[in-house]
Chain A
Amino acid sequence: MINDGWAGHILHLDLTELKAKAISAANYKRWGGGHGLGTALFWDYCEDKTLTDGRDPRNVCVLSSSPFCGTPVPSGGGRTEVTGIGTGQWPISWYTRSNFGGRFSSMMKYAGWDAIVITGKAEHPVWVDIRNGDVAFVDARTLWGKDTHATQEAVWAEIGMRRGTKSAWKLLRNTIDAGRTTQKPAVLCIGPIGENSVHGALINDAGNGAGQGGFGSVWGSKNLKAVSILGAGEVHVADPAGLIQARFITKEKYVDDPDKPDLTGWTGMATGAITVAFSAPPTHKRRPQACQSCIGGCRTRYANGKHNEQSCQETAWYGAFARRFYQDPVDIGNANLDAAHAAALTGINTYGLNSALPWLEYLYHEGVLGPNGKIKSELPWEQLGRPEFAAAFFDCIAQRTDIGADLAEGYLQALHKWGREEDLESGEADFPYWGMANHGYDPRSELEWGYGTLMSERDFNSHDLNNHLFWAPFGSAVSAKPMRIEAERAVELVAERLGPYAKGRKECLDYTESNMYSEALAQLVRWHLHYGRFWKNSCGLCDFKWANFFNTNTNGYWGATGSEDAGEQVWWRVVTGEDMSFEDGIERGRQIYNLDNAIWTLQGRHRDLCKFAPYIYKKDVQGFNLGMFPFFFWPAPDENGKWEYREIGSRHLDEARVEEWKSTFYGLEGWDAKTGWPTRRTLETMDMAFVADELEAVGKLGAER
């Protein structure tokens, strides 16, 4: 069927005119869905791609589902990709992306939409009520200023849905029987932070968030408070029996039994992954909670309700501070969750806080910031670590008071305004790339992460290699559990899936100093970017479960990625009917990545802008950079070629060699090494001559070699 996996239509919301229009998705199918679809729509709908601030009304924000959304593809049925020009980055807010899980994308598909394109700016705050094909713009002036949970509850009430469970079937609209549902609308909204600063996240339900990129702030600038979606339709797939059988196989073969867990397993597909990061969940009275179609939920809902769905990053950024006041693991866990709850309510991108709070505290201890400092702040810095401080900090950004007035424009923007460039030299301001916080896998240690970020536009945040080659051995080491797979075997298993550029090449995973700037690393980063652009961010496969390179549940420890029974290409085939290979998907990712680069080029990108912060080239990193662990594990060969899990020692990057590496990378991508711009030849081989034409018209087409 033509529409297998696809709903077939894209919804355009024009906030300036308050009009909704449906367009066919037929012309966009080559881009796959998710990020590819969003970028192609941005290309068509954004009239001025030179914008560098996402708060410009001409910015186009797209929410995209994928053919997998709404179907039981394991950990692939529930993600929504968000694209557009971001906010708060440095020196330019690039065209960027984020995504979030939960219920929104599946509801979008059931409502009959593959994507929602948001353009313009409303005269006053609005929210959008989508029920199947019916779209209404609703005045949101009474919702403006509300936190994200109160906003969602208010929207539900306006639609006539009550809190609680166990409710009767409801008509979507009180007229012709266009569909009935027992579900609540999936509401995506912003909080006060998004209304007033560049740090806004988009929040759905209690804890699904798209933080990085500042899309909450993009919505705030458009006077868009929320989008609610309710769908009662269906998603057709090409091979329903094939999809169901593959799903059954995945559970049997790749996931350990939830009732007989392998607590030392290296599976990546287990149930109940990280909930509260780096501290104990405060109670057993909880359930795992999952996004739609997930094979093993990573979140939790608690008996106190307040901490629902807060996990991982939202519970990681405050941990080091909370330990100053709380020693009992349960108390630390609760403090983390309270801070996470405050963050979710206010709708802030917590990633930025990873680096912002240590830096600001440093300034406080230096006497630069504080009631008597050059940078005036009355915040109770001595209470940093208590949940009350977090709430006060968020409030000052949301209301633009205290240092929030400057921070609201961006962390690096504030740094420059305060004249604190020296902190980027010393590393006290740990913003290594694009004005964004260090994720923790420092570019000096975990090379594919840093390089991937440099060659894209934001914190790379793709744990494919990280989950397997860092967390699996690291987790075993710090918890005194056995290394389930030897280093060399682990690297072999990963390398086997790195086709077409690095298939079988173990050296691509060698992060030792002798290999840090190699062509092999460039191929690895290319693979990773292309895999991410298509299989992850266009298809909507969750970063927590995919890629699955190795898996201790299977014979030979082969993972699901690229496998014949549960590989990414298997899901694509059974859903869409298109018989695409795993490596065909990598190629599609390359096309999408090239389209991204074309937009960045139009925005003003040049290789000279693609640099890490100065301290990356000057200061040695010590281990895993969130101040918690003093070492960074990664498999590496010794001088005799024997692979072991080794500590990547303290080191920095050599700027000149990074520049050489970039040239290698550009060359491999078929871009002009002098500028980093795509060339016509490269674009035309991908049937993207229309992109070359637009670049050429503004004199930004890369020169051929």
Chain B
Amino acid sequence: MHRQGLRIFLVLSGVFVAAIGVGYYAARFQPTGRGVGQAPYLFFDHLPWMPFVAAFLGIILSSMTRRVACYIDRDGERVLRFDFVARLNHWLIALPCIVVIFSGLALGVFFIPRLTPDGQATAFLFNIHFVAVVFMLVGFFYLLGNWVLSPRRLFAFIPFVGGKANPIYEGLIFYLHRAGLTKRTVHPDKFEGSEQLAFLMAMACLFPLVISGFFKVAARFYEFPAGLSHFMNLTHEFFTLALVFYLIMHIPLTTAPWIFAGFKAMVGMGKGGGGYVPLDWAKEENPDWIKHLEAEGKVK
């Protein structure tokens, strides 16, 4: 794995785990200092500004990192698919997202009952949720900031832009051809059709989740109309389940044997280290992408 990447991963993980530890400690019941009764220290209650600050921290982070364009490394017979920023961004969203989802489900969503046996465990889960949300928001707004700075990277995901083929057709033929069920072929760009659609689905889930999440946090200090609060709660629950459905597809389809080279690149263990995929593999998987890179002179 890329050594720098590993170091950053370990540092961030350490901070994450430490924050969870603080959350555990805070979840114990202690006198409130406001008369009778005891209460846990819920991060969402006492630090409602932090998720908003996290979003802006993500934007700041985007201003501090530089992108390396994708290019073909002829000597190394490899192509840079995911630069450091792409990898950092992906995992800064994905890993906290897993924790956000699991903690959210455990707190009860629609037909899934609350899994915690008592108030203290509930408070701890809320604190876990908070820590993961903060990390995830840094990552999500880092992503948005990076798109502002480099719109081209966003357009690579979006269907039809840049003369891309119909994503449904492309994705279908791509897989049918692999399965030997059709002789037709397609020539995907950097992201093939089904990946473009998956991106749209991920965004369709994440945006409402983030927006409704901000509303739910803001409800701690602002009194929204009850109907709006209710709508936001329902939105948050519904898109949680939608995101779970997305991940159930995304994780296997991005770690399957035929795409494993891409996964290795995303974790910084690509060909020769870092976010590289083998050139031969890329020529077969994303031929149009390689053609565009050659046409743009992105060859070293």
| Interface residues, chain A, with chain B CB atoms under 8 Å away | 171, 174-178
Contact = CB atoms under 8 A, between A and B. Distances in A.
Contacts of A171: 117-118
Contacts of A174: 117
B113 interface: yes
Nearest to A174: B117
Contacts of A176: 113-115, 117
Interface string B86-126: 00000000000000000000000000011111100000000
Given A177-B115, A178-B113, 12 more contacts: A171-B117, A171-B118, A174-B117, A175-B117, A176-B113, A176-B114, A176-B115, A176-B117, A177-B113, A177-B114, A177-B116, A177-B117
The 9 tightest CB contacts between A and B, nearest first, are A177-B114, A176-B113, A176-B115, A177-B113, A171-B117, A174-B117, A175-B117, A177-B117, A177-B116
Contacts of B114: 176-177
A369 B115 CA distance: 67
Nearest to B113: A176
B121 to A, nearest CB: 10
14 contacts: A171-B117, A171-B118, A174-B117, A175-B117, A176-B113, A176-B114, A176-B115, A176-B117, A177-B113, A177-B114, A177-B115, A177-B116, A177-B117, A178-B113
A176 B117 CA distance: 6
A131 B116 CA distance: 19
Contacts of A177: 113-117
Interface of B: 113-118
Contacts of B116: 177
Tell me the interface secondary structure of chain A in the complex.
loop
A231 to B, nearest CB: 17
A131 to B, nearest CB: 14
A171, A174, A176: residue with the most chain B Cβ atoms closer than 10 Å? A176
Contacts of A175: 117
Contacts of B117: 171, 174-177
B115 to A, nearest CB: 6
A177 B113 CA distance: 7
Contacts of B118: 171
A177 B117 CA distance: 6
A11 to B, nearest CB: 22
A258 to B, nearest CB: 36
Contacts of B115: 176-177
Contacts of A178: 113
A176 B113 CA distance: 7
Nearest to B116: A177
A171 B113 CA distance: 14
A178 B116 CA distance: 11
B184 to A, nearest CB: 50
Nearest to A171: B117
A174, A175, A177, A178: residue with the most chain B Cβ atoms closer than 10 Å? A177
A382 B298 CA distance: 117
A50 B117 CA distance: 50
B274 to A, nearest CB: 45
A178 B108 CA distance: 12
A174 B117 CA distance: 7
Contacts of B113: 176-178
B29 to A, nearest CB: 13
A271 B42 CA distance: 51
A178 B117 CA distance: 9
A381 B118 CA distance: 59
B212 to A, nearest CB: 24
A678 to B, nearest CB: 49
Nearest to A178: B113
A174 B118 CA distance: 9
A428 B217 CA distance: 83
A171 B117 CA distance: 8
Nearest to A173: B117
A335 B4 CA distance: 89
A395 to B, nearest CB: 46
A233 to B, nearest CB: 14
A278 to B, nearest CB: 52
B111 to A, nearest CB: 13
A319 B115 CA distance: 57
B109 to A, nearest CB: 14
A188 B278 CA distance: 73
Nearest to B118: A171
B108 to A, nearest CB: 8
B24 to A, nearest CB: 20
A118 to B, nearest CB: 31
A146 B114 CA distance: 40
B119 to A, nearest CB: 10
Nearest to B112: A176
A171 B122 CA distance: 14
B73 to A, nearest CB: 53
B123 to A, nearest CB: 14
A171 B116 CA distance: 11
B114, B116, B118: residue with the most chain A Cβ atoms closer than 10 Å? B118
A178 B113 CA distance: 8
Nearest to B114: A177
B114 to A, nearest CB: 5
B125 to A, nearest CB: 12
A136 to B, nearest CB: 19
A174 B114 CA distance: 13
A260 B116 CA distance: 50
A177 to B, nearest CB: 5
A170 to B, nearest CB: 11
A242 B114 CA distance: 34
A507 B222 CA distance: 77
Nearest to A169: B118
A216 B193 CA distance: 73
A171 B114 CA distance: 13
B138 to A, nearest CB: 33
A176 B118 CA distance: 10
A117 B251 CA distance: 49
A174 B113 CA distance: 14
A176 B116 CA distance: 6
A171 B118 CA distance: 9
Nearest to B122: A177
A177 B121 CA distance: 12
A265 to B, nearest CB: 48
B194 to A, nearest CB: 37
B202 to A, nearest CB: 30
A181 to B, nearest CB: 14
A363 to B, nearest CB: 62
A175 B118 CA distance: 10
A178 B115 CA distance: 9
B90 to A, nearest CB: 34
B102 to A, nearest CB: 15
B117 to A, nearest CB: 6
A45 to B, nearest CB: 33
A174 B121 CA distance: 13
A595 B117 CA distance: 47
A174 B116 CA distance: 10
A175 B116 CA distance: 8
A182 to B, nearest CB: 15
A175 B115 CA distance: 7
A177 B118 CA distance: 8
B192 to A, nearest CB: 42
B17 to A, nearest CB: 27
A354 B113 CA distance: 55
B113 to A, nearest CB: 5
Nearest to B115: A176
A471 to B, nearest CB: 52
A178 B118 CA distance: 12
A176 B108 CA distance: 11
A235 B118 CA distance: 25
A30 B113 CA distance: 35
